[in-house]
């Protein structure tokens, strides 16, 4: 995860008990340290079954600080544009926790 020079990392959090690759930080702009935003970056290995990954992701989502704006990003290795069960479950979980997609088009072409 990278930030530009205008941002300050206020806190870095790691949930060592949750077996999923992730990084969670609380950021603030240098000009307004009172404003904070949580950023959670997650990686799902392509061979990790979705039914194993999603409960772990949910464990991370509930650890996001309450009351702060938040961004969840990462490589989920799930085609969210495909209307399959994995995509539906991921989207349902993220929406349940108040997140909506920010993208309108796929990040890469299907092969």
Given a cut of 90, whether residue 24 has pLDDT beyond it is yes
pLDDT value of residue 111: 52
* CA 81 vs CA 32, 54, 99, 105: distances in Å: 37, 17, 16, 8
pTM higher than 0.85 for the full model?
A: yes
| DSSP string for residues in 73-84 | EEE--S-TTS-S
Distance CA 63, CA 28 (A): 19
The closest alpha carbon to 111, from 75, 74, 79, belongs to 79
**pLDDT tens for each residue of 55-79:** 999 999 999 999 999 999 999 999 8
């Amino acid at each position: 995860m990278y930030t530009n020079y205008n941002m300050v990392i206020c806190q870095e959090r790691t949930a060592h008990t949750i077996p999923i690759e992730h990084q969670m930080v609380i950021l603030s702009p240098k000009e307004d340290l009172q404003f904070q935003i949580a950023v959670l970056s997650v990686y799902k290995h392509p061979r990790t079954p979705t039914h194993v990954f999603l409960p772990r992701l949910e464990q991370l989502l509930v650890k996001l600080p309450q009351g702060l704006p938040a961004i969840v990003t990462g490589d989920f290795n799930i085609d969210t544009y495909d209307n399959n069960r994995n995509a539906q479950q991921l989207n349902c979980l993220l929406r349940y926790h108040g997140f909506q997609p920010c993208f309108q088009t796929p990040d890469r072409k299907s092969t």
